[in-house]
Structure 1
Amino acid sequence: MADPFPSPYLHRPAALADAPAVHALVAACERELLGRAETELDRIAADLALPGVDPALDTLLVHDTAGRLAGRAWVHGGRRSAVDVHPGHRGRGLGAALLDWAEARARRAGGERLSQTVPDGDRAAVELLRSRGYEPFVAQWLLEIAMPAEPVVPGPPPPGVTLRSFRPGDERAAYELTEDAFDEWQARRKSYEEWARLSVGLDSFAPSLSPVAFADGQMVGAVLSLDAPDAREGYVERVAVRRDHRGRGLARLLLREAFRANYLRGHRSCTLWTHSEAGALPLYQRLGMTVRRGCAVYGKALGPG
């Protein structure tokens, strides 16, 4: 079979040791498109080490003849994928070849539908995906709030509820709480190992910036925050309130606590992602958050390859 990648590019699977190089590639793509790098190194490393990801089978790196990383593809569980091509190597067919590889890998893994998240401003990627039969099915928004002064935390907690910062030993309770809440819209419940790898197991997880709420000895609300060493702003990774405690202002209270903790850490803005399936955009907007940018999740049913 002919090599699908144009000459003189070389390709091989990734290894965990390649995380810094992949991070540099992703950062270059983000600077070109967004004017700043947003993805942290620990997130790239976590993706390579996720349960269900075999780097030897589920990743591909493309290098030029000088050994510089020109592109990469990543597939998880035959369902999700990511493809990036360095700005200096675009227009040479690498994106199409990596997308073909990702679809073939997803089919071999038993996937029936493959998805990929693309920023709204990446017109070339959107056109490529649409030309291959992908359609958007979920909208996502990066929200931000400016904090020129210390945020005001509204009133005391609801009766019977206490607040404190996240502590060691809270991990399992936070997992159950957030996955129970996300079960209302997510297609698949994560295992604890996968969930932890993407949240409390990250090097950037910040317990002191992550307020949690308890009632009758059980966790009923949580805001989990990240704080990378070189971060210029705060970032909220997850927000969840148990169903029987909603409508009491608990999410608003926890978010304000998280914003205030980030302000006291030195951050003058805070961000979080939400999407159309969660239905939480109005809540965040009432808190004063605005949309910085959007992206969409594109999906395609995989027929026989």
Structure 2
Amino acid sequence: MPRAYVPLPARRPYACRVHQLSPIADRAAAPATLPQITAGDLAWRPATLDDVPRVTALNNTIAEADGAPYRETEDETREELGAAWRDLEHDSLLGFDADGDLRVTAFVAWFPGDTTTVRTFAFGGVHPERRGEGIGREVLAWQLARARQILAASGKQLPARIGTYAEDDDPASKHRLYLHAGLEPRRYFSDLKRPLTGDAPAIPQVELTGSLRLVPFSPELDDAIRLAHNDAFRDHWGSQPQTMEQWTNGRSEFAPEWSYAVVDDAPDVAALLADEATDASTRAALDAGAPLVVAYALNSRFEADFAVRGYTFGYTGILGTRRAYRGRKAALAALAASMRAFADAGMEAAVLDVDTENPSGAHGLYASLGYTKEHGSTMYSIEL
């Protein structure tokens, strides 16, 4: 699946209105039964982990046909489909033709850590040779119906979202399909590239002040980085807290040797505990004397994408700064160290994705560092 399917940054637009919401079961309006898919005369069944090779192959066939800037590995697919909270029996469908070849995938994902907005996401696709038969329309109807069932069953009296993504270069028919189904363009993302070779600008040297210290990623800091991430993205639209199970899922391409954190060796614990904006999990960590990570850059090496893009690169998947530490260049220090690690490993570029309406002004920061847009994508959603 495109990496854009990983849900990205978010504000808390509805927190003050939760008490005004009708019950989630009413808003979701879940059907008692799911619609049948009759178009294309295909045989349907749920996916299993044994289907990982064929799902990966179909995803890559679709990506190649649509000119997508990525390819998928079987390890990535296995992590996505094998997450502990996934229910493939009820949340997936595979469509096979008369010869037994996979021609369609349909998945609906949800996330256990959601606390301010309960979310579902639809993803999948139709083989390019089977487009134009009405299959995609019926598959999307099934996905939306299943998403409504999941939301209703969650019992969470929160704002709710059914979302999906489309690359800007995807066929116009895909965008029209989403619009026709009632999904609205809600958020726009830019895929940015920053050259590291030739006449590329020098990677900035960032001096940290006070008791802030840049350190390489280590497993011992992993949970502290997760807590920093949950704090950093509390005011970003679409973001929800991640459990440790979610946080560590999907790391087949993770490059710990390219990843960094900034820790505060002498945090003002009293001030942080007195600040009502400090979340409960961070309070617990401070009380326990755990390391306080204040910024981080976690990076990956997507080798399957190198030939597609035409250059080698390091990918910054997650970058952030605790809200209390913004303005101290901590994330910039982690990003600069990441770029230097990419360059030292012989990578030709640094790549990342950003929400174009990111409230921390990240888009401007990346532009100042030499990042420019290469691709884009749109998140479509139904807000309930």
TM over 0.5: yes
1:130 aligns with 2:130: no
Match of 1:168 in 2: 219
Q: 1:35, CA displacement in angstroms?
A: 5.5
Q: CA deviation at 1:137?
A: 0.9
Structure 1 residue identity aligned to 2:340: R
What stretches of structure 2 of length at least 5 have no aligned partner?
Answer: 1-33, 111-118, 153-159, 266-290, 307-312
Q: Which residue of 1 aligns with 2:62?
A: 29
Name the structure 1 match of 2:319.
239
Equivalent in the alignment of 1:119: 167
Query: Cα gap change, 1:11/1:259 in structure 2, threshold over 3 Å: closer, same or farther?
Result: same
User: How far off its partner does 1:6 sit?
Assistant: 2.2
Pick 1 or 2: higher relative contact order, CA cutoff 8 A, min separation 6. 2
SS in 2 for 1:79: strand
Check the 8 A contact 2:183/2:382 in 1, yes or no: yes
Partner of 1:227: 301
Aligned residue in 2 for 1:285: 367
CA distances 1:27-48 after superposition (whole Å, capped 9, x unpaired): 1222122265344433322221
Distance 1:51 1:277, change over 3 A: farther
Runs of 4+ in 1 over 6 A off after TM superposition: none
Native 8 Å contact 2:46 2:92 kept in 1: yes
With over 3 angstroms needed to count, the CA separation of the structure-2 counterparts of 1:244 and 1:2, relative to structure 1, is closer
Q: CA-to-partner distance for each residue in 1:182-227, whole Å, 9 max, x for gaps? A: 12123532222112214xxx12111110011111242111100011
In structure 1, C-alpha distance between the alignment counterparts of 2:41 and 2:374, rounded to whole Å: 39
Task: Give the one of 124, 138, 146 matched to 1:105.
Answer: 146
Q: Which moved more, 1:223-232 or 1:79-88?
A: 223-232
Number of the residue aligned with 1:184: 235
Shift of 1:69: 1.5
Q: Greater shift after overlay, 223-232 or 171-180?
A: 223-232
- TM-score of the superposed pair, with normalisation by structure 1: 0.90
Amino acid at match of 1:169: E
- 1:269 and 2:354 are equivalent in the alignment: no
Task: Show the counterpart of 2:268.
Answer: none
Specify the code of the residue in structure 1 equivalent to 2:176.
E
CA-atom RMSD in angstroms: 2.1
Measured in 2, the distance between the counterparts of 1:120 and 1:209 equals 29
For the residues of structure 2 that align with 1:13 and 1:2, how far apart are their CA atoms?
A: 15
Q: Following the alignment from structure 1 to structure 2, what is the Cα–Cα distance between the partners of residues 196 and 249?
A: 26
Cα 1:134–1:229 shift into 2, 3 Å:
closer
> 181-190 vs 65-74, which deviates more?
181-190
- Determine the C-alpha separation between the residues in 1 that align with 2:374 and 2:68: 13
Query: Is the contact between residue 168 and residue 376 of structure 2 (CA under 8 Å) also seen in structure 1?
Result: yes
Counterpart contact for 1:158–1:250, Cα < 8 Å: no
1:195: which partner in 2? 247
Do the aligned residues in 2 keep the contact of 1:146 with 1:268 (CA within 8 Å)?
A: yes
CA drift at 1:93: 1.4
> Counterpart amino acid of 1:192?
M
Identical-residue share of aligned pairs (%): 27
- The alignment of Structure 1 onto Structure 2 pairs a total of residues equal to 299
Given candidates 123, 139, 145, the residue that maps to 1:82 is 123
Q: Distance in 2 between matches of 1:91 and 1:278?
A: 37
TM-superposed CA distance for 1:229, in Å, is: 4.7
Gap runs ≥5 in structure 1: none
Structure 1 partner of 2:4: none
1:208 partnered with 2:257 = yes
Larger-gyration structure (1/2): 2
Larger proportion of strand: 1
* CA contact 2:70–2:304 (8 Å) conserved in 1: no
Instruction: State TM-score, norm by structure 2.
Output: 0.73
State the shift of 1:116 in Å.
0.5
| Mean CA deviation greater in 12-21 or 124-133 | 12-21
Residues 215-245 of structure 1, C-alpha deviation per residue, up to 9 Å, x if partnerless?
Answer: 1242111100011454532111100111222
Task: From 65, 71, 75, give the equivalent of 1:42.
Answer: 75
Q: How far does residue 158 in structure 1 lie from its aligned partner after superposition? A: 2.4
